[in-house]
Each structure stands twice: as C-alpha cells, then as structure tokens.
Amino acid sequence: MANEDFFNNVQAYGQWKRDLVSTIEQFQDWLNTTGLEDSEQSLKIYETLQTLKYDRITLAFVGEFSRGKTELINAIFFSKYKRRLLASDAGRTTMCPTELFYDVDDPKAYMRLLPIESRLEDTSITEHKQHPINWTTIQLDINSPEKMAESFAQITKTKPVKAVEAKRLGLYDIITDNNGSEISDNKIVEIPMWRHALINFPHPFLEQGLTILDTPGLNSLGNEPELTISMLPNAQAAIFVLAADTGVTRSDMDIWRRHLKSFRRNRNSGLVVALNKIDTLWDDLKTEKEIKASIQRQCLESSKTLGIDSKHVFAVSAQKALLGRVREDTDLITKSNLPKLEQVLSSDILPQKQNLVRNTIINDITDLMKSSKSILFGQFNARKKSIAGLGGLSGKNENVIYNLLKKTREEQQIYQKNAENLHASRQILLGQQKKLNNIIALDKLDEHINQARTTMKGSWTTTGMKSGMKLLFDGLSNTINEADKQVELTNRLINSIYTRFQNENKEEGSELKAKLFSVDSYKKEIELLYEDAEEYRTSVYSTLTEQSFVIKKFFISLVSRARNIYYQLNQDSDSWTKLALTPLVHHVKAHKQELQMRMDQLKKAGDSRNNITEQFSKLTKEAKVLQKYLIDLNAMIKVVSEPVTAENKQQKSNQAPSK
C-alpha cells in the first residue's frame, strides 16, 4: 500500500540521517586519532551535527476554506486512530496555522497555542517559539484519541470582539458585512482565538523529521504575513487542495498566484495539487467509465487553469480514504485514489530534501574528509619512500648519507619559505575577510533598519511609509551586490594561493582544490524577498490596514527574514575564510614532520647501521597504520555520498558505522 511505501521512504530518510550523524561522529574521532583535528574543523562538524539533529522536512497543506486540507492530513497520517483526530467536520475549520512535528528535546506530547493578542507585539512567531511561557500549553493524552481530538478542537475556536479591536489586531480586511461594506467599530465580530498552534506528537512520520503545516483559508493567510512570507516559502513541499465539485475558483486562484509563487518559481518543484472530494462526482446513475471521464476532465481543466502539468494534479477523496482505512476496506481506499498522491510524495519530495541536505550540509563535510585523505595519503607515500630509501642505505658509505642529509636540509629550507609564504597569504586573506565583514556587518544593517523604522513611523502618509519600505530593500539589495563583488575578489586571491602552492609543491599539492564561496543563493533569497516586500508594500492590505500595524508586520515578517539571511551570510562567509587555507596549512605541517623524520632517520643511519633495521621496521608498522586509517576514511566517504533508498534501509540499520 502506498501509505506504507511513504512511511518506508520517510523512515529510510531518517535512517540515512542517523547514518550520517554516526559517520560524522566517527570522522571526528578519526581526526583526533590521526592528529589532524583543529578547532575550526571541530566547530564545523559540531554545527553539521546540530543541523542534522534539528533538520525537518516540512509538508504544507494549502487551500481555501472547506477544501478538505485537514481531512487529507487525517487520512494520510492519522487513520490508525480509527477516527478524525484533527477537527475537520462540516462547519469546523482550522482558524490558525498549525504545525505538527516531533520535538527531539521534549518528547512529551503537547499542544501550544499562541494567543491572537500577540499580534500587537513586535515579536515574530519564530521568536515566540523560543519562549514557551508565551504560549498556552495543553498536555496530550496519546492513549486517548477522544481526548486528543477534544484538545485539537482548540484550533477551530473563535472569540467575539468589537470590530475596533479586530482592526487593532490587523484583522481589518475581514471585518466587513455581507455586502462588503465596512461595519461599525462597536459591532461584535468573530476572530480566531489563536494566532498559531504547535503540536508535538510521537507519530512515526514526525519522529523521522517530518513537519506538517496545516494552513487556514485565504483570509487568514492574508492576515498572517509571516505564514506566507516565511513559513510557506521555507517548506520543502506543498499540497494545494481544491474541491472537485467547484474546480478552481477565484479565491483558489488568488492563493495559487499569491502564496505558492515560491514553488512555482522553482518550476513547481515540490508542489502537487490535490483535487479533493471526488466522491461528490460519484453518481449511481453513471457508469464507472463516465465517472472516471468526468473526474479526468476536471483534473485537466484544473491543470490548464493553474498552468501546471496534469501529472501534478491528483483527484482524491480524503473522506473516503479515511473511511476506508478506518474500516480496512482496501477497495474504498483504492477508489479514493489517495495512494497515488502518497506515492508521489514518497518518490519525489524526499529525494529533493535529501539533495538539499547534501548540497547545503554534507558537501562541506565531504570536502573536509577528502582534504584529510589527501594529507594522510601524502604521509603514507612519504613512509613508503622512506622505507625504500632505508633499504638503499644499508650499503652506502658515510659520504652518501651526508649528501642525503644536506639535500634534506635544503628541502627543509624550501618548506620553511613555503610556510612563510602561506602565513603571508593568510594575512592578506584576513584583510579581504575584514572588508567583506565590514560590508555585511550586522550592526550596520541594524542601524540601517532602525533608521528606516523611525522614518516610516514618522511618515504622515501611506505613500511616505511605502516609500520607506522600498528604500530599505533597495539598500539591502545594494549591500548584497557589493558583497558579491568582494567575494569574487577573495575567491581570486584564494585561487592564486592554491595555484602558487601547487606550482611549488607539484607532488604533494596536486590533489588540493580551493573551496570557493558564492553569495548567489543569498542574493536570490534577497531578490525573492524584495518581490514579496513589493507585493506587501503595494497590496490593498497595507493600504487599508492601520499604518502602525502594517509597519509592525513589515518588520516582523519581511525585515526580520532579511536580517536572518544576512546573519547566515555572515556565519557562512566567516566559516569559509577560516577553513579556506586549512588544507594547505595541514600539508605544510605534515611535510615538515616528514622532513624532520627523514633527518632523524639519516642521522641514526650515520651513527649505526643497526638503526637502519630498527627504523625500517618502525616505518613499515606506521605505513600499515596509515593504510588502515585511509581504508576507514574511504568507508566514511562512501557513507556520506550514498543516496537514501527504502531498499537499503534495513541493511543500513543493521550495518551502522561503528564509532
């Protein structure tokens, strides 16, 4: 069954991450044992392990009210409880964004609810997550589906307030009467009770690192900018849910165009459409063939309207799938067509996430491993040469040994000069790093942000406020472009350092490759954020909503995200420059040790021929140890380079790398 396939692949992804963690920890021990460890490498390894620990795959369910998003979640993930776990009955709808996940630091099941009044604060949801005291916490009884369902019903709750209070909370655009006219400030209206919900739940999918994001309908999407500007774009996959009986409505199209553009920018990567409620098209007066044709037409019409390939549109019935799984009715499950949707989630989305992890995390560790391998291989070859050299010394006279000592001292002088050149190069690189740090300095960015905030708050007009928004993001774009130019200069410097080293040390340095840096990904993020800022700036929402609230949300949702991008750029560029010349430093250090070892051998050989046999035996043992280190490292490189598949999951779990 596809549900089982989906679980197996999610589990395989989780096993792949555990194997990575085990192997990276093994690599850290390997570095300690071989003497190749340094503080910068250890920090990089620690950061990688922390990232893998908290890494999650986020799957978002997006759509208009009453399209069956929550029912779809119940059918895919919670059917084993033999009931609707999340409230999805008629007339009960999700009123706030809800994240379902497994908290590795707090395995006790809980639900945290952020009061709607928190919208008045200058604090983002992301920041609120760091402070559980700001949330209402409900402990969940996982042994009682009924009690859990009762607790989960909280996310459908609303509360009555005066319209003036709703306006103060930034919920202005939904406070209209049936004719679309503005209502009086004293009229009582219903608003969501909660701004956001977090559900920590020990579900097998969630324990493997999957996070489910259930979103409310269009109006709520439009009134929580952080959801649309930050949470949805950061999701690895999204299911856009439509209703088969209505097709693509105007409000559906509005969500598609405005809130799923981050996926459509990537050629619909990670995006699928679920045409839900196909059971409404099941007609006893029609043949099975006619029903299938009707459903197929609706799929084609939907794909055409959305401008997406029809292979990304799946006609399903979440309600019938849930019913089929509760009753263990395989025919009904098959007829619901949900297994086909689950199959694409399994086969397409998980590999995309793995590639993302590999490109953003694992490649750096692989580079460290390969650099260490190059150094150790050089040591191994040096031992072999020394062994061969000692074999030839047994019959040599003192004059020959003296000449070899002289030659080795000359090599030491050359490498001393190389070491001095490398030190000078590091100083030049530090100068380039300071220039880059000065361009992207967070204190300068914060000063720029605070100045923009003051200017916008002091503006008497909406036009002036919007102009301030544009100027701020123009400045952010200019800064990233300036950083791009400085990084290019630094890349050229690093390339020249490596080229010079390779020319001076053709044998030892031939395998060393400079690791260059690029701001392209950060630049792209700023460009996309600029587009989001322009849309927010020119929207009806920012025109009609109270100016102070618009400014507050602008800084919480957009500017804070821009600052996070610059923070990450600072961290990554700093790590890059610190590690950029590490392979060369290690090679120089290792070669110095090799030359000193050779000097000691020659001196002992000159003192006594008996020392030659002793040194020969010692070097042979050292070469065998180094060879074993290389074999171990090759095995680690293989693990981190291996793709994740459900087929090898069991084998991997039985043969996890030993520490």
Q: Is the model's pLDDT at 401 over the cut of 70?
A: no
| Cβ neighbours, 10 Å, residue 639 | 19
| Cβ neighbours, 10 Å, residue 611 | 17
| SS3 annotation, 29-82 | HHHHHHCCCCHHHHHHHHHHHHHHHHCCEEEEEEECCCCCHHHHHHHHHCHHHC
Q: Is the model's pLDDT at 395 over the cut of 60?
A: no
**Three-class DSSP category at 106:** coil
The per-residue pLDDT of the chain, averaged, comes to 82
Buried b (16+ CB within 10 A) or exposed e, 388-412: ebbeebeeeeeeebeebbeebeeeb
Query: What is the per-residue pLDDT across 337-369, written as a single tens digit (0 to 9) for each?
Result: 999 988 888 777 777 777 777 777 777 888 889
Query: What is the per-residue pLDDT across 262-295, written as a single tens digit (0 to 9) for each?
Result: 676 665 577 899 999 999 888 888 888 988 999 9
Within 8 A by CB and 6+ apart from 204, the residues are 7, 10, 11
* Alpha-carbon gap, residue 252 to 243, rounded angstroms: 10
Q: What Rg do the C-alpha atoms of the chain give, in angstroms?
A: 31
Q: Which residue has the tokens 């952080």?
A: 226
In sequence order, what DSSP letters do the residues of 366-419 get, joined into one string? HHHHHHHHHHHHHHHHHHHHHHHHHHHHTT--HHHHHHHHHHHHHHHHHHHHHH
Q: What mean pLDDT is predicted for residues 117-133?
A: 89
Q: Is the model's pLDDT at 425 over the cut of 90?
A: no
Residue scoring higher pLDDT (599 or 60): 60
In this structure, are residues 303 and 313 in contact, taking their beta carbons and an 8 Å threshold? yes
Query: Which ranges constitute the DSSP H helices of 505-559?
Result: 520-537, 540-544, 547-553
* Alpha-carbon gap, residue 475 to 454, rounded angstroms: 16
Q: One-letter amino acid identity for 494?
A: I
Query: What is the per-residue pLDDT across 561-618, written as a single tens digit (0 to 9) for each?
Result: 888 899 999 989 998 888 888 888 878 877 777 777 777 777 766 665 556 677 778 8
**Three-class DSSP category at 576:** helix
Q: Is the dihedral of CA 259, 261, 266, 269 positive or negative?
A: positive
Phi, psi for 201 (deg, rounded to 5): -140, 130
Query: What is the per-residue pLDDT across 12-49, written as a single tens digit (0 to 9) for each?
Result: 888 888 888 999 999 999 999 998 888 888 888 998 88
Q: Is the model's pLDDT at 654 over the cut of 50?
A: no
Query: What is the per-residue pLDDT across 516-534, written as a single tens digit (0 to 9) for each?
Result: 899 998 998 888 888 878 8
Q: Is the dihedral of CA 510, 514, 515, 521 positive or negative?
A: negative
In sequence order, what DSSP letters do the residues of 292-344 get, joined into one string? HHHHHHHHHHHHHHHT--GGGEEE--HHHHHHHHHHT-HHHHHHHTHHHHHHH
Residue scoring higher pLDDT (44 or 139): 139
* Furthest CA-CA distance within the chain: 109
Global pTM reads 0.76
Give Cα 61 distance to the centre of its chain: 19
Looking at residue 508, its pLDDT comes to: 56
Q: Is the dihedral of CA 234, 235, 237, 239 positive or negative?
A: negative
Query: What is the per-residue pLDDT across 468-493, written as a single tens digit (0 to 9) for each?
Result: 888 888 899 999 999 999 999 999 99
